[in-house]
Amino acid sequence: MLKLVFLGRLEDAAGAAEREIEAAETYDDVLAGLEPELAATLRDVRIRLALDGVLVGDPASLSLRDGQELAFLPPVSGG
């Protein structure tokens, strides 16, 4: 299982703060298993990712394993 964590406004988009999904090998696999509207929201280039608490630079480079946590961080707003 892979734990997905949705922070800020992304929690509303996902309908929950967390979800567990079957293990996926790539970021595209994760998105393919989600509702199309949520996947489209998460594809926004301003959304940051953290894998097991470490920020990810390039989602395409992710290699996921069972038991990991993937967090989605919304863009920071303000001035």
For the segment 23-73, what is each residue's pLDDT rounded down to a tens digit?
899 999 999 999 999 999 999 999 999 999 999 989 988 999 999 999 999
Nearest residue to 18 (alpha-carbon basis) of 74, 71, 73, 64: 71
Whole-model pTM: value is 0.92
* AA letter at 11: E
Place of tokens 């280039």: 45
Domains of the chain (ranges; CATH) run 2-73 (3.10.20.30)
pLDDT of residue 75: 87
Q: Of 4-8, 15-19, 73-77, which gets the smallest average pLDDT?
A: 73-77
pLDDT of residue 12: 95
- Non-local CB neighbours of 31 within 8 Å, separated by 6+ positions: 39, 42, 43
Instruction: Determine the average pLDDT of the residues in 1-15.
Output: 96
